[in-house]
A and B are shown apart, each in its own frame.
Chain A
Amino acid sequence: MSDNILEIKTLNVRFGGILAVNDISLDVRRGKIVTLIGANGAGKSTILRSVSGIVKPVHGEILFEGENIMGLTPEQIVKKGITLVPEGRRVFPNLTVLENLKMGAYLRKDDYEKDLSYVYRLFPRLEERSWQSAGTLSGGEQQMLAVGRALMSSPKLIMMDEPSLGLAPLVVRDIFSIIRTINENGITVLLIEQNANMALKTCDYGYVIETGNITMQGEGDKLLNDDRVKEAYLGKSRNG
């Protein structure tokens, strides 16, 4: 069809009458890293949650590989090959690391051993701690687990909601390098970040979202050098 793995067209989401996402359209090209940046509450998370089927949009279209997936249940969407690494990691603290990873492969009927060893190669730390309960991991390790868990569903598109939130700078760098590795291995990435600097450096294409509307879009380095973006997001991210 097209090169776009995901196309969102005039998406509208309301929460009790309040418009959270207003006629947003965006495309994610296959094999690329696409990022959405914007202030807290701009509607970025809502877009990802709509794609996952957790939030029901008012109208619009969400095309995944040319097929409208709006209105499907979360588990049907996971089956299609879309996975979301939720904000705040949301690992299952009462399950072991290994069980968390198995949860990622919950819907798979095929053998996922290969993916497990792939995840362990990406995050050797997780293999060391596979019998530890996830609640005892550090924040960075939990983020790795959340990403690893998402990879276990062998997705075509991985969406990440603020993967760097609350992590130490060194860990943040690790996470972004992992994102690149994942992408190099053929998985398309849709990334939300408040850390606009890192995000724009990593991505191929970016969208800037303000209060439910897209205000700017372009290649990552272009946005990185845009004055308005610099003023609105990059300065802040450096301070914050």
Chain B
Amino acid sequence: MNITSYLIRGLATGGQFALVAIGYTMVYGILKLINFAHGELFMVSGILMIYIVADLPTLPIGLAICLMAALTVFIGFLIEKFAYSPLRSAPRMSVMISAIGVSYLLQNLVSYITGGLSKQFPDIPVIGESVRFLGIKDKLTVFLSPVIAIVLTVILVQIINHTKFGMAMRAVSKDFETSQLMGIKINRVISITFAIGAFLAATGSVLYFAKNTGINHLSGANPGLKAFIAAVVGGIGSIPGAVVGALIIGVAESLAKAFGLADFSDVISFGLLIIILVVKPTGIFGEKTTEKV
């Protein structure tokens, strides 16, 4: 058996999930909200790409990707403005139900537009090319995904740790009111957080759908769920945690298939989640929080 191939594909899936997981973890970090619509946003960005390429055939693919990312960010922003922002002082449960509502709304909208049929993601040059590397033949995106995920994460962590805005984000994640007293515009920080999450989801969706080219309205459910598990395993609220969690989940599921345990790949993800929650409830990179009541 060629273990390398499973490892590489596991890391690829992991890298793609990582970009989604960061969105979960960042929004949780700021709003303490599991943004259930995030997986759907990931799917929507894939669908957007299909329609952009179909409707604007003359547009170079690079620009199409930029346009898609911009639209995804805009949708992420709208979701926050209309579904979460009005509920800022409502109980957390209400916001979560709103998130679930948005997630179904996006699914139903896409199924209405596509008629529930699977659509083909366009061919993306470069990352869609087949290459042979380490004796494994696959699309370049498979080999690039973990690298891109890690590079983007490093950049993001640098921004958060070393810029004024990053500082504001960290402050807001701990204390809304005091941050306001410092003159931080909370809503702007939250909007930008959603925008970053949406941008990374859009990047992840290009990498993911360049490989898994069939998209329908349910295509976001599984990546969304796995990314969420990854975020929790890594320690929700922690960005490096989300990435490490996603890589672990990706590799674990891939290896499960290698050993003929494909049937149990979901079980393995959830098993991992349970073990982490039992041994270290805050996740691998999670910090201990003493929540003030």
Contact = CB atoms under 8 A, between A and B. Distances in A.
Nearest to B166: A99
Contacts of B182: 78, 103-104, 106-107, 149, 153
Interface residues of B, number: 18
B171 A78 contact: no
Contacts of B177: 54, 86, 90
Nearest to A107: B183
A15 B92 CA distance: 20
A84 B183 CA distance: 11
Given A102-B167, A103-B167, A75 B184 contact: yes
A208 to B, nearest CB: 26
Contact of A79 (B164, B174, B183, B287): B183
Nearest to A77: B183
A228 B177 CA distance: 36
B185 interface: yes
Contact of A93 (B164, B174, B180, B183): B174
Contacts of B180: 53-54, 74-75
A74 B178 contact: no
A54 B184 CA distance: 12
Nearest to B173: A94
A139 to B, nearest CB: 15
A195 interface: no
Contacts of B171: 92, 95, 103
B157 interface: no
A82 to B, nearest CB: 10
A95 B181 contact: no
A75 B183 contact: yes
B170 A94 contact: yes
B291 interface: no
A116 B170 CA distance: 21
B263 interface: no
Interface string A55-95: 00000000000000000011100110001101000101111
A93 B179 CA distance: 12
B181 A86 contact: yes
A50 interface: no
Interface string A103-116: 11011000000000
Interface residues of A, number: 24
A94 B184 contact: no
B174 A78 contact: no
B55 interface: no
B181 A78 contact: yes
Contact of A75 (B167, B185, B287): B185
Given A95-B167, A99-B167, A103-B167, A52 B174 contact: no
B168 interface: yes
Contacts of B170: 92, 94-95, 99
Contact of B183 (A94, A95, A153): A153
B174 A74 contact: no
B174 A94 contact: yes
Which of B164, B170, B174 gathers most chain A CB within 10 Å?
Answer: B174
Given A74-B181, A94-B173, A102-B167, 12 more contacts: A54-B180, A74-B183, A78-B181, A84-B181, A86-B178, A90-B175, A92-B170, A92-B171, A95-B170, A103-B167, A106-B183, A106-B184
Interface of B: 164, 167-168, 170-171, 173-175, 177-185, 287
18 contacts: A52-B181, A53-B180, A54-B181, A74-B180, A75-B180, A75-B185, A86-B181, A92-B174, A93-B174, A99-B170, A102-B167, A103-B167, A103-B182, A106-B182, A106-B183, A106-B184, A107-B182, A107-B183
5 closest A-B pairs by beta carbon, nearest first, are: A107-B183, A75-B183, A78-B183, A90-B178, A74-B180
